[in-house]
Structure 1
Amino acid sequence: MENFKVIEFHRTRDFSNKMNVTFEFIRQNFKGLGKSLLFIAGPPVIATGLMVGTFMTDLQALTSSMARFGASDMMTKSFTTPTFWLQILLMIVLSVVSSVMALSTINNYIVLYDEKKTNKIEFSDVWERVRSTFWMYCGTVFFFFLLLMAVYLVIVIFVIVLAKISTALVVLAGFAIFFFFVYALFAVSLTFIIRTYENKGFFEAIGRSFMLVRGKWWSTFGLLFVLIIIGTVISYVVSIPYYALTVVNTLHNTSTESFEGPSSSMNILSVAFFSLSYLVQVLLGALPNLGIAFQYFNLVERKEAPGLMKHIDNLGTEGPASTHEEQY
């Protein structure tokens, strides 16, 4: 029998406890969350992987052919066809949809876990929440894009003005802009979980994210950095077959006197391995996204203490006091 203990979200946690609770949540919900991710985010992720894998295989064949025959106009013709740009557009759209579906699945699963206080989350409940928040997530991505473009235009104008004054000022501004973007990237990292858990508007959620992260930026950065590194290392291990097959294809093309493109079976294997590695990469995105969620609850508890207030309100109705120690 599974020794299940509900994870209390609203708690203050240090770095090691946030790491522990992230992996404990995955252990508790591996089946339910994994099933939800595979059936909800899996189809668009696999479609994206197949399309990108096919595109990369065709591009590799084109590059090898150009290197062999020296036909420089081949790439120009390929890049100016409507089919090429339609492929690019479809890859971007599918990539955004797959990322949105994965992130929405994770965050809505967290909300359902908090509401039901169990890891027996029904797939239908997760799917219903994902459907109801899909356009909110797409809108958030779109508004982030517009905001990024607006900031980019302001920066370009600012740099042009500085360039007329001094090159040294442009260099200093470049460093300042870089650090600003790094800070802002992690300062807004709580936006999606805030919109999901608190049902805030876009700009209100960004403002709240900045407020919560203020004074705890380094802990947010450190947690996400470590979880991203762990996920990246695992995803690279899974991607080894794809990279090995790519090297074999490249060596085959360069070792023959007459140009021979990869066989159809090799192309199918290459696309399949790429799709698998892309699927694993998206699934491993659960690590930093869960870390963001637990950092959100940690920061809310530190600054607003809803969990502590709930314990105080329940003092008269609870049984014998518990130690509230997390046993991981």
Structure 2
Amino acid sequence: MRYLPFTHASHFLKERDFGQKIEASFDFIRAHFKPLGRALLMIVLPAALVIGLATALMTLEWINNLKGLQGSAATVDKTNPWPGISNVFSKMFFSPAYLTIVFGGLILTTMLILTVYGYVTLRLETAPEQEITVSAVWRLVRQRFLGTVGALIGLGVGSMIVFFLVSMVAGVLSALLIGGSGGSRFMIGVAVVLVMSLVFGAFAYISIALSLFLIIWVRERLGFLATISRSFKLIWGKWWSTFGLLIVMLIISGVIILAITLLTSLISSPFAAATAGTDGLEGAARLSFLVATTLRSMASLVIYPLILLALAFQYFNLVERKEGESLHYLVDAIGQPAPEAAPQALRPDDEGEY
């Protein structure tokens, strides 16, 4: 079976059905495994290693703190145990490892998004015969890094504001329902269902509608609000297909994560035996747990590019369906000289052309 090389715009800008978008994601990985893999290894891998190690150290710290809390349970004031518990959790959440995970995770996510979508964008904008180098991808990552970090923070803050507003509206409606019915149990149940439906429904719709935000942000280079508007415009009428695509890719990713977890559990098997003690993890158990947790964090280089690519091909599919962008490329190509074919020597069994 012949696969698309994904070197021309027409290879990306195609109307694809549900299965073809998933297939295109794997085909793109197959066609660009080496150049995209080099970019991921040289740009994203160092950050993934740091985050993986910080995650492992934080997990060990949490385990040891919880064991210490259990060991000192006999000396804790039974009437007011919260000071001791809050002290333990404050040490966890303000530890250097946890802060490294929070800020480092944002950096890692930004670099992964820009590397994958930057490579796709450069592949679209570069001549088919020219290979995309790591330096070209790194240049794009540097140029768009701060803006993308700000965009991700803006999406997070905006989502919280919308969640708060929808919760307020749902709360007011439920209060009116309960007050109008005299506080009957049936209307209380209806109000609870209404609140949960509005809140989770709004969250689900906005999350799926903004799933195309990142590919639009990188490829079309629009402003923050313009990118949000563009994402909602493209997703209109295709919300369910995007939702289904994302769910299927998450299931596939979950299977991959499960396989990686089972493999890394073989490395960290001494951890299970070490947890029987009261002094936490030490020696070989600690080292094996650090290695296993770091490997699981590095699995993001394998898993998340598949999800990002699936969303990218959904974006290309919607752009082609609604705007027919590939026609613009064909019009621009009119009048341009055809590519020269390399001369080939005739073989003895060639009959030539007539």
TM-score bracket for this pair, using the shorter chain length: 0.7 to 0.9
Residues 218-275 of structure 1: per-residue CA shift (max 9 Å, x gap): 2211222212221221122112244456675344433x6xx34322221121111111
TM-fit CA distance, 1:291: 0.9
Distance 1:275 1:120 in 2: 32
2:17 matches 1:14: yes
1:63 to 39, 61, 66: 66
Secondary structure in structure 2 of the residue aligned to 1:189: helix
Is there any run of 5+ residues in structure 2 with no aligned partner, and where? Answer: 179-187, 339-354
More deviation, 139-148/309-318: 309-318
Q: For the Cα contact (< 8 Å) 1:10–1:297, is it kept in 2?
A: yes
The equivalences for 1:172-321 within 5 A come to 172-243=194-265, 248-254=270-276, 259-311=278-330, 314=333
Residues 67-119 of structure 1: per-residue CA shift (max 9 Å, x gap): 45535566443323498354433211001110110011001100111112257
Normalised TM-score (structure 1): 0.86
More deviation, 77-86/178-187: 77-86
In structure 2, relative to structure 1, the CA distance for the partners of 1:149 and 1:85 (3 Å cut) is farther
- Residue 108 of structure 2 corresponds to which residue in structure 1? 98
Normalised TM-score (structure 2): 0.80
Distance 1:298 1:240 in 2: 36
Q: For the Cα contact (< 8 Å) 1:18–1:295, is it kept in 2?
A: yes
2:132 to 121, 144, 149: 121
Secondary structure in structure 1 of the residue aligned to 2:132: coil
Q: For the Cα contact (< 8 Å) 1:106–1:286, is it kept in 2?
A: yes
| Counterpart residue identity of residue 158, structure 1 | V
Q: For the Cα contact (< 8 Å) 1:239–1:274, is it kept in 2?
A: no
| Counterpart residue identity of residue 27, structure 2 | E
Identity %: 30
Q: For the Cα contact (< 8 Å) 1:162–1:170, is it kept in 2?
A: no
TM-fit CA distance, 1:183: 1.5
Is there any run of 5+ residues in structure 1 with no aligned partner, and where? Answer: 320-328
2:47 matches 1:44: yes
Q: For the Cα contact (< 8 Å) 2:22–2:310, is it kept in 1?
A: yes
TM-fit CA distance, 1:309: 3.8
Q: For the Cα contact (< 8 Å) 2:44–2:112, is it kept in 1?
A: yes
2:147 matches 1:136: yes
Distance 2:266 2:61 in 1: 17
Distance 2:248 2:91 in 1: 42
Q: For the Cα contact (< 8 Å) 1:28–1:119, is it kept in 2?
A: no
More deviation, 306-315/53-62: 306-315
Residues 36-88 of structure 1: per-residue CA shift (max 9 Å, x gap): 11211111221111111111012122323444553556644332349835443
Q: For the Cα contact (< 8 Å) 2:212–2:312, is it kept in 1?
A: yes
- Residue 158 of structure 2 corresponds to which residue in structure 1? 147
Q: For the Cα contact (< 8 Å) 1:159–1:170, is it kept in 2?
A: no
In structure 2, relative to structure 1, the CA distance for the partners of 1:3 and 1:23 (3 Å cut) is closer
| Counterpart residue identity of residue 174, structure 1 | M
TM-fit CA distance, 1:293: 1.0
2:34 to 31, 35, 39: 31
Structure with greater Cα Rg: 2
- Residue 325 of structure 1 corresponds to which residue in structure 2? none
Distance 2:68 2:173 in 1: 45
More deviation, 288-297/302-311: 302-311
Q: For the Cα contact (< 8 Å) 1:231–1:281, is it kept in 2?
A: no
| Counterpart residue identity of residue 146, structure 2 | W
The number of residues matched between the two structures is 316
- Residue 322 of structure 1 corresponds to which residue in structure 2? none
